[in-house]
Amino acid sequence: MPPANHRQPPFFLTGTANPLVRLVMLRRIEVLMQAIVLVLAVTWLGIPLEVVPMSALIALLAAVNLITQWRLDKGAPVSENEILLHLAFDAGILGLLLYFAGGSANPFVSLFLLPPTLAAAMLPARHAWAMAAITLAAYTSLIFWNLPLPSPRGDLAELDALLARATAGGEHAGHSNSFALHVLGMWLNFVISVGVVVFFLTRMAAALKDRERQLAAAREATLRNEQILALGTLAAGAAHQLGTPLGTMAIVIRELQLSHENDPEIREDLTLLREQVDRCKQTISQILASTGQSRDESLRSMTVDAYLHRLLDEWQIIRPHALLSVALQGTQPAPLIAADRTLEQAILNLLDNAADANGASQEALRFAANWDGETCRIEILDCGPGLNVDAAERLGDMYFSTKAITPERPGGIGIGLFLSNATVERFGGKVELFNRTDRRGGACTRVTLPMSRLKA
């Protein structure tokens, strides 16, 4: 665990949830609305504003936004202080624009609420309070230093008459044009503010939901890794304990072979039994060896078709009575791959599951594989009863097995598919299990692996 004084950076400072990306989008809206309001104020309302300096400020804001977008495209990291600096810059531009348009008397002065709101949503508390202090200082300065907002030259008689009727006794009649302009500015200010707030908060809510999904996936992966670690510990202990009885069995089988050399039938059965014991000893040795062996040391380079043929030959030793039909095709010459023992064991587990599902069917188990430069796809098709709805929903859960319990077979313990799926995912692939749609019925186990993770 990290030390107590170690503070992780906020989630939104990395990846697609970077707040600077949102600020760039909001700034585009800001530049567009400022330009529109300036044009309408000068042309439609006839207000003689300082067009040149105000246009220069809007152009400066647009230029800084373009530079920020270019910096984001470069993929440079973003700090909390930089976010604060951008918000302060936006507040400064707004303050200068209001300076040329009446200062604190301008109805758009309430837009100063947006920078501290954004800071409170995106940054730590100290940055939010700093942003609040900056905007308060700007607002206060505009009370004492500003250029008065000139009276409009346009005709606002209709709007003024409507406002006069709406107020008690027409008390604002003496200030018709200025009051009408103020109300119109307040309305525009509300439209802009509500649009920006809704836009930003919906994006923040989407980012929070996305982070919740990522955290849930991370918790699930951590739990699965803990389960795999526990299984690995148990497997290593069991392997150590099974070594002695298997060695004893091998000695007894050897003595039985020597004493039944003249009986071909018994000798054949004992040979098969000896192969199975040797196979068990080899597996145990590999488990014990893997505890001190890195993945790179266990890699063996060979072509993908040779790898699959060797794997199937090994499985046929384990399941000598299983009928198997093999179809391999892909680009030639076949690419070289280097897969460690864990991937072999995962595919062997899937073959075992399919053979068990095939049961006493006279149909052969079908193993089909094809590959190209990007992907290797493996399909294992059995002719068993297929999957019911409950099994389809719980497949891959630890300790859930679809194998029926019979006198000859005590059923499965439900870790084969779980471990196989975890191993394949570690190689960047996936395991899919679904019912076949052809007339033969049964299930199909599909393994998809990226060649980039397998190539030697």
Cα gap 136→383, rounded to integer Å: 76
Q: Phi and psi dihedrals of 303, rounded to 5?
A: -70, 155
Kindly provide the b/e burial profile for residues 350-381, where b requires at least 16 CB atoms within 10 angstroms of the residue's own CB. Answer: bbbbbbbbbeebeeebbbbbebeeeebebbbb
Residue 368 host element (H or E): strand 365-371
Reported as a single tens digit per residue, the pLDDT across 65-74 is 999 999 888 8
pLDDT of 193: 65
Q: Which residues contact 328 (CB under 8 A, 6 or more apart)?
A: 305, 308, 309, 368, 369, 370
Cα gap 175→319, rounded to integer Å: 98
Task: Give the residue from 315, 316, 114 showing the smallest Cα distance to 201.
Answer: 114
Task: Give the residue from 330, 359, 377, 347 showing the smallest Cα distance to 442.
Answer: 359
pLDDT of 299: 55
> 189 is written with which tokens?
């200010």
Asked if residue 366 lies in contact with residue 378, where contact means CB atoms within 8 angstroms, the answer is: no
Task: Give the residue from 23, 142, 51, 28 showing the smallest Cα distance to 94.
Answer: 142
Report for 50-59, 120-129, 403-412: range of highest mean pLDDT:
50-59
| Residue 243 CB-density burial (10 A; 0-12 exposed, 13-18 middle, 19+ buried) | middle
Q: Phi and psi dihedrals of 164, rounded to 5?
A: -65, -40
pLDDT greater at residue 13 or residue 260: 260
Asked if residue 239 lies in contact with residue 284, where contact means CB atoms within 8 angstroms, the answer is: yes
Q: Phi and psi dihedrals of 448, rounded to 5?
A: -115, 125
Amino acid at 437: T
Reported as a single tens digit per residue, the pLDDT across 42-65 is 888 778 888 999 999 999 999 999
Residue 3 preceded by cis peptide, ω within 30? no
pLDDT of 215: 83
Answer left, alpha or beta for residue 10, where phi above 0 means left and psi between -120 and 50 means alpha.
beta
pLDDT of 286: 65
pLDDT at 407 over 50: no
Asked if residue 434 lies in contact with residue 395, where contact means CB atoms within 8 angstroms, the answer is: no
Mean pLDDT for 216-235 is: 69
Asked if residue 30 lies in contact with residue 61, where contact means CB atoms within 8 angstroms, the answer is: yes
pTM: 0.45
Per-residue pLDDT band at 170 (split at 50, 70, 90) = very low
Reported as a single tens digit per residue, the pLDDT across 188-205 is 766 666 666 666 667 676
Cα gap 162→172, rounded to integer Å: 11
Mean pLDDT for 438-443 is: 77
Cα gap 358→323, rounded to integer Å: 10
Cα-only R_g, the chain: 37
Residue 213 host element (H or E): helix 176-259
pLDDT of 95: 92
Per-residue pLDDT band at 153 (split at 50, 70, 90) = low
Residue 446 host element (H or E): strand 443-450
Cα gap 428→422, rounded to integer Å: 10
> 54 is written with which tokens?
């105000």
Coil, strand, or helix at residue 455? strand
Amino acid at 338: A
> Around 141, how many Cα atoms within 13 Å sit in the side-chain half-sphere?
16
Portion of the chain with pLDDT greater than 70, in percent: 70
Task: Give the residue from 287, 272, 265 showing the smallest Cα distance to 318.
Answer: 272
Task: Give the residue from 274, 272, 7 showing the smallest Cα distance to 124.
Answer: 7
Beta bridge partners of 193: none
Task: Give the residue from 196, 97, 107, 174 showing the smallest Cα distance to 138.
Answer: 97
Amino acid at 384: G
Beta bridge partners of 434: 444
pLDDT of 404: 45
pLDDT at 254 over 50: yes
Asked if residue 115 lies in contact with residue 135, where contact means CB atoms within 8 angstroms, the answer is: yes
Q: Average the pLDDT over each of 27-31, 262-266, 414-418 and give the range with the smallest value.
A: 414-418
E strand intervals along 116-157 = none
Kindly give the pairing relationship between strand 443-450 and strand 375-381.
Answer: antiparallel
Reported as a single tens digit per residue, the pLDDT across 349-364 is 888 888 888 776 677 8
pLDDT greater at residue 108 or residue 38: 38
Mean pLDDT for 412-421 is: 66
pLDDT at 87 over 90: yes
pLDDT of 89: 95
Cα gap 380→76, rounded to integer Å: 46
Task: Give the residue from 413, 410, 406, 343 showing the smallest Cα distance to 378.
Answer: 343
Reported as a single tens digit per residue, the pLDDT across 260-311 is 777 788 878 888 888 878 777 777 766 655 555 444 444 567 888 888 898 8
